[in-house]
Structure 1
Amino acid sequence: MTPLLIDFPVFDPVAIAIGPLAIRWYALAYICGIVIGWFYARSLLKKERLWGGPAPVSAVQLDDFILWVTIGIILGGRTGYVLFYNLPHFIQDPLDIFQLWNGGMSFHGGFMGCVIAVIWFARRNGLPILSLGDITTAVAPIGLLLGRIANFIKPELWGRAADPDLPWAMIFPTDPTHLPRHPSQLYEAGLEGLLLFCILAVMIRFGALKRPGFILGSFVALYGAARIVSELFREPDPQLGFLWRGMTMGMLLSVPMLIVGAILVIRALRKPSVHHATPSLQAQP
């Protein structure tokens, strides 16, 4: 019986080429994720009903913050990959750390880079840390969606071996085993990207931004859960394999996110909803 497989669509690794300038899909995903997220964040700031009054962050401050969070994503993501996923290799060849075009970014490291950027920028500009964190995580699934699609296009980070009769099983051209595998990059794009974005958008629609830290905590916890589920179908990194009790590095790094996210959500719910007074409603002296 011939296995029911989907032929892997072969993509040119270069998305845009203008003379000697070449932009790969991986870089394009980061660029588009940041730009689209920036526009979405600005649209959230304009809607006072979502905040119970004027947003605690201005559009100008958000524009300045974009550079900070971009640096946090890149430095944190690369640092996380070096430390968590392939430290022996980079100790042996430290110059490879700077070869970002070859891939190798850790979400958990990038997230920590964003946390540092949020705290640092908020303190320097007198902004509420939790509200700035809410805005940042509200748009984060956009970048995750595009990043996972870029992983699929490359292709890298493919799934575990699948039942050959699975209708959507694929043989990835870069896989030396040529086994039918789960397209786990697309699973992650759906769970960590599209589904998570929709859930957070519904929460925002029903006033979640009026409770500082609620969207931040929800993102942290829900991403942790989505990542753990996705890791059940994703092939572990070959240099690491399975770790404690058959868990992968992605699972181990996501477990603390479930705990921290739950704590943030509970704290946000215990505090009264914030209603920022507009000038017309403020008490007159």
Structure 2
Amino acid sequence: MWSYPEINPVALSLGALAIHWYGLMYVIGFGAAWLLGLYRAQSSSVWDKDKVGDLLFYCALGVVLGGRMGYVLFYDFSGFVANPLSLVMVWQGGMSFHGGLLGVTLGMFLFARKVGLSLFSVADFVAPLVTIGLFAGRIGNFINGELWGKITDSSWGMWVYDPVIGEMIQKYPTQLLQALLEGLVLFVLLWWYSSKPRPSGSVAGLFLAAYGVFRIVAEFFRAPDAHLGYLAGDWLTMGMVLSLPMILIGLGLMVWAYKQPGLVSKEAK
């Protein structure tokens, strides 16, 4: 059995300026996505350094604005009403992947229209890059000591201090599980799948479907937000409800993509 190391959420303090690990994880995620995007662009006749940089800018705005607004809308609207400034306090955690996905989709749409590419072509290029940011974000959750799983006596449970009961207790480290599934495993899957020419939209479809499955798996181990609890019975969570449409849309998009003869994504290698 292992114990949570109680990591200081502040990575560096410079006078009144505090640099948080959570914020650094976003910088790392965006930086890694940019480098991988440049690597993928080398084997493409459509993408270049400038387009990758511009796309990253649009997606970064979508992640931050959509992620925070999605969290407020789906998980903590009452907290926003009590303190509207909480909308910009991203260093405290509280970012919704599903809200970020909507924000990134809007960003990709605007970028695609600007450069004259199809939305599916842009989404296929972006999909494998997103997973690195997901991995970094979940590590940020772990450092912040948030989003713990259910209480367990399993051998991979972690001893953590629970402020509600005022004592140490074993919980699933679901932040690390999500970093593994939504980050590393999903990255390998998408990188392998997109390494060959695929129907336009199929890579994005696989991302949506696979993420939805991985997220629902993690939700069975993850404790629901305290102010929301379970939506039905003692198992249905908001994360599951938001992920199920992703699976259906992703599978539908893949089926549609493979029925379009000769429609190959322009970024395919």
- TM-score after normalising by structure 1: 0.87
Structure 1 residues 175 and 44, CA gap change in structure 2 (3 angstroms): farther
SS of equivalent residue, structure 2 residue 11: strand
Alignment of 1:218-233 (within 5 A): 218-233=206-221
CA contact (8 A) 1:222 1:258 kept: yes
Amino-acid identity (%):
39
Picking from 13, 16, 23, the partner of 2:12 is 16
CA contact (8 A) 1:217 1:263 kept: yes
- TM-score after normalising by structure 2: 0.92
Structure 1 residues 58 and 128, CA gap change in structure 2 (3 angstroms): farther
SS of equivalent residue, structure 1 residue 180: strand
Question: Is residue 2:80 matched to residue 1:90?
Answer: yes
Separation in 2, partners of 1:111, 1:151: 18
Picking from 226, 243, 246, the partner of 1:238 is 226
Residues 194-218 of structure 1: CA deviation (Å, up to 9, x unaligned): 000000111022333xx21111110
Question: What amino acid maps onto 1:172 in structure 2?
Answer: V
Separation in 1, partners of 2:48, 2:162: 46
Question: What amino acid maps onto 1:248 in structure 2?
Answer: T
Structure 1 residues 19 and 89, CA gap change in structure 2 (3 angstroms): closer
Please identify, of 63-72 and 80-89, the stretch whose mean Cα deviation from structure 2 is larger: 63-72
Question: What amino acid maps onto 2:49 in structure 1?
Answer: A
Alignment of 1:67-216 (within 5 A): 67-163=57-153, 166-177=154-165, 178-208=168-198, 211-216=199-204
Match of 1:280 in 2: none
Question: What amino acid maps onto 1:34 in structure 2?
Answer: F
Structure 2, unmatched stretches of 5+, are none
CA contact (8 A) 2:161 2:169 kept: no
CA contact (8 A) 2:197 2:265 kept: no
Measured on the aligned residues, the alpha-carbon RMSD in Å equals 1.6
Separation in 2, partners of 1:132, 1:206: 16
Question: What amino acid maps onto 1:58 in structure 2?
Answer: D
Please identify, of 192-201 and 5-14, the stretch whose mean Cα deviation from structure 2 is larger: 5-14
Structure 1 residues 183 and 275, CA gap change in structure 2 (3 angstroms): closer
Cα deviation for residue 174 of structure 1 reads 4.9
Separation in 1, partners of 2:246, 2:194: 21
Match of 1:262 in 2: 251
Structure 1 residues 78 and 275, CA gap change in structure 2 (3 angstroms): closer
Structure 1, unmatched stretches of 5+, are 49-53, 277-285
Question: Is residue 2:3 matched to residue 1:7?
Answer: yes
SS of equivalent residue, structure 1 residue 172: strand
